[in-house]
Structure 1
Amino acid sequence: MTHYIAIIEEAGPEFAVGVWFPDLPGCVSAGDDVDEALRNAPEALALYLEEVEQEGKPLPKPRTLTELKADPEAAEDIRNYIVALIEYPARAHAAE
């Protein structure tokens, strides 16, 4: 199974909780609270990666947390927001 690191941003009670994946530009999700955002993240990940596969492109390689911390573009987000590991069971989708 493949896992991607997600960044979860709580911007306050007036805003949705945002989720994005540093290794997957444009792959975003949200929820009314952190729990809902985390429940929605796997679906966003699956839809994004299934589209990549349908286009015949290789899946983007997920970086480790250590690799992301070394990336100046991701390091600040990792310091400031919640980080979660989201699973993409690629083998299960390939068997369907």
Structure 2
Amino acid sequence: MRYAIVIEKSDNNYGAWVPDLPGCVATAKTVEGVQKRIQEAIEMHLAGMREDGDPIPPPTSQVHYVDVAA
């Protein structure tokens, strides 16, 4: 499966979250680090859902960009 992730810059690090998996988040000092950690978090989140017998939600979020004048 392929889930969309959102990466945001804060003052001290980067945070990532998954719109289709509420509560699935990660942080790291770099973009590369947070990408690795959110992938691990997704895998762990899905494993926990399977273990609990919860249905795995299909990826439904889409990412698009809009160009606007600055």
| Equivalent AA in structure 1 for residue 22 of structure 2 | P
Shift of 1:35: 1.0
Q: Aligned equivalents of 2:61 and 2:18: distance in 1?
A: 12
Of 55, 59, 68, the residue aligned with 2:56 is: 59
| Equivalent AA in structure 1 for residue 7 of structure 2 | I
Q: Aligned equivalents of 1:45 and 1:64: distance in 2?
A: 15
Name the counterpart of 2:5. 6
Percent of aligned pairs with the same amino acid: 30
Moved over 6 A (4+): none
Shift of 1:64: 4.2
Shift of 1:5: 0.4
**Is the partner of 2:22 in helix, strand or coil?**
coil
With structure 2 as the length reference, what TM-score do the two structures score? Answer: 0.83
Q: CA RMSD, aligned part only?
A: 1.9
1:17 and 2:14 equivalent?
yes
Q: How do 1:40-79 and structure 2 match up within 5 A?
A: 40-65=37-62
The structure with more helix, counted as a fraction of residues = 1
| Equivalent AA in structure 2 for residue 45 of structure 1 | I
Query: Structure with the greater relative contact order (CA < 8 A, sep ≥ 6): 1 or 2?
Result: 1
| Structure 2, unpaired ranges of 5+ | none
1:35 and 2:12 equivalent?
no
The number of residue pairs the alignment matches comes to 66
The structure with more strand, counted as a fraction of residues = 1
Q: Aligned equivalents of 2:61 and 2:21: distance in 1?
A: 14
